Amino acid sequence: MPRPFRLKTNFSIYHVMIRCVDGILLFKDDEDKDQFLLRLKKYKKRYGFKLYAFCLMDNHAHMIIDASGADISRVMHGLNLSYAKYYNRKYGRRGHVFGDRFRSEIIDDDNYILQASKYIHKNPRKLKKWSNKVFQYPYSSAPIYMGDVNDRFEILDCDFILKLYSKEDKKKAIKEYLDFMLVPNSKDEEEQLEAEYGFINQKCEYKSEKSIIAKDIGPDDVIAFIGEYIGEDKNKIKMKYVRDITEAKAISMLLMVRFCDYKIKTVCGYFGNITQSRVSSLCSLGVELLFNDEKYKYVINDFLKVCG
């Protein structure tokens, strides 16, 4: 039986849920949760989406993701595949880790995103240890919102939700958001939330005040920008067997995947029919360069100023 069509746009905000296959736990220990968040950070850097909330439970996880121009399916496919490889390697197993595709629901207004974040942040109430202190659960974004802990993976974008309460006074926004979180839902409201956030397809797109990244940038624009950025001939960057411009190729390919919405196969052809594994490894190198090399620290911001 064919899978149903997934309603999506590249500029929507999504409530995303992933879960494990029957018979295993998605996260067996804290290291597993850390590894998932590290991979989430990597893909956030690669695709430029925003993360407004998250909660990792033992057998599933919730996230609110603002696609910000990225293809949510490609983001989640890459993230889940990366984690599954780690998981199978660590536990000496083969086969699927995630149960079916990720589930996603488009969030369509301000109240909806607040209710979704509340639902996600209260997930640990199902755990006996955390039932009376859900906002202290370490693998949720709730304690980061409360200012109780630092965002140690530097992945959360808090301002969007907090500014729904106050755009100028962050302390006031945090207090009002906490007050909202502490208000208990009635039984009927809980049942309604379970139904709504059980991923019934929605047919609206939430834009509100979020910024949009233009996606009409072509690969030639990317090559021209990188060539000028590092002082290299743009034609040389496109050449297949030139070894001394590996970093330039890596950054260029990463920008193409992220901002041109190119698939790996298309990038292969653009660079002279190199292998998909080579493009994938160079994109990974590009992510590492963005994280660790001062030379490329501001390349995305500078690129968007010129080409965005």
pLDDT digits (tens, 9 = 90+) for 120-160: 999 998 788 888 888 899 999 999 998 888 999 999 999 99
Q: Where are the beta strands (DSSP E) in the chain?
A: 13-19, 50-56, 60-66, 103-107
**C-alpha distance from residue 87 to each of 96, 117, 151, 284 (Å):** 10, 27, 24, 19
Phi, psi for residue 49 in degrees, rounded to 5: -75, 170
Q: DSSP assignment of 112-172, as one string?
A: HHHHHHHHHHTGGGGSGGGTT-GGG-TTBSHHHHTTSS--TT-----HHHHTTT-SS-HHH
- 8 A C-beta contact, residue 290 and residue 45: yes
Q: Is residue 11 predicted with pLDDT exceeding 90?
A: no
Q: What is the pLDDT of residue 196?
A: 57
Quote the pTM value. 0.71
Highest average pLDDT, of 45-49, 84-88, 111-115, 215-219, comes from 84-88
